[in-house]
Amino acid sequence: MTLSHITRHIYLALGTTSLLAMSAVTLAKPAPENISERVTQIEEQVIQWRHHFHANPELSNREFETAAYIEKFLLELGLQVQTGVAKTGVVGLLDTGKPGPVVALRADMDGLPVLEDNDLPYKSTKRGMFNGNDVPVMHACGHDTHIAMLMGAAQILTGMQDELVGQVKFIFQPAEEGSPAGEVGGAEIMVKEGVLKNPDVDAIFGLHISAAAPVGTVLWREGGIMAAVDPFKIVIKGKQAHGAYPWLSVDPITTAAQTIMSLQTIVSRELRLLDDAAVITIGSIHGGNRSNIIPNEVELVGTIRTLNETAREHIYEALPRKVNAIAESMRATAEVTLPLDYFYPITYNDPALMQQVLPSLQRTAGADNVVYSKPVTGAEDFSFFQKEVPGVYLWVGGRSLDMAPEDAPAHHTPEFVVDDKGMKLGVDLLTNLTIDTLFAEQ
Residues annotated as catalytic are: 110, 176
Distance separating alpha carbons of residues 438 and 68, to the nearest angstrom: 29
Distance separating alpha carbons of residues 211 and 196, to the nearest angstrom: 30
Pick from 236, 251, 352, 232: nearest CA to 302: 232
CB 130 within 8 A of CB 61: no
Distance separating alpha carbons of residues 268 and 34, to the nearest angstrom: 52
Q: How many CB atoms lie within 10 A of CB 25?
A: 13
Single-letter code of the amino acid located at 397: G
Angle (CA) 155-156-161 rounded to 5° is 100
Angle (CA) 394-398-401 rounded to 5° is 130
Distance separating alpha carbons of residues 122 and 13, to the nearest angstrom: 56
Structural Rg of the chain based on CA atoms: 25
CB 353 within 8 A of CB 392: yes
Single-letter code of the amino acid located at 435: I
CB 165 within 8 A of CB 29: no
Per DSSP (E only), the strands in 278-400 are 278-286, 293-294, 297-306, 333-337, 347-349, 370-372, 391-399
CB 344 within 8 A of CB 229: yes
